[in-house]
Amino acid sequence: MNETIEVLIGEEEISRRVKEIGAQITKDYAGKAVTLLGTLKGGVIFLADLAREIKLDVFMEFIKVSSYGNESESAGKVKLEYPEKADLAGKHIIIVEDIVDMGYTASWLCNYLHGLNPASVKLCALLNKPERRKVKGVEIEYLGFTIPDEFVVGYGLDYAQKYRCLPYVGKLRME
Ligand code: PRP
């Protein structure tokens, strides 16, 4: 099967939006240090660009969770893979996600982090696919783009681990 990719959000559009989000965070957290908590692996590219647009003291941490079960069972079980114990007490945490899809990951992360006594927790996501949401009440404080229910790759997002390093977000088609 042939894989083709059609650009959905171009490099310049992403860059513009990342700058805007960075400026907004800089304003909202003025006088504070922020800890960007990137979700491995998808959130890494977005985090790297966003971090450099925030004109504050920025700390970087990473977390990896895995989901199991599938959509038809709507199991949505999430398991922490890394790190075993995160020391985030007292920190202003901004979770940096590539995409909020069904919402299981973001919802689990918010609950988990609240248990670690941080100063605050907010969610920042490059992409949101509201049509696919299974979990209610996931609040995305900083959002790049809302997209339709298409399989997207690039700028951190993969298909079978490929395409994460594309500078744009594109729709993957199998022909
Ligand atoms: C993707 C993405 C989000 C999550 C969103 O991660 O990075 O973390 O799924 O899905 P949800 O809203 O339905 O929970 P994935 O598990 O594919 O790992 P990856 O980031 O390493 O590609």
Q: What is the mean pLDDT of each run of 10 residues along the chain (175 residues)?
A: 95 98 98 98 98 98 86 72 90 98 96 96 98 95 98 97 98 93
Report pLDDT for 68.
Answer: 77
* C-alpha torsion 51→53→58→62, nearest 10: -10
Determine the Cα–Cα distance for residues 175 and 5; give it in Å rounded to an integer.
11
User: Does residue 41 have its Cβ closer than 6 Å to ligand 1?
Assistant: yes
Out of 105, 127, 143, mutate this one to test ligand 1's pocket (max ligand atoms within 8 Å of CB): namely 105
Report pLDDT for 85.
Answer: 82
Q: Provide the b/e sequence for 119-129 (b: ≥16 CB within 10 Å).
A: eebbbbbbbbb
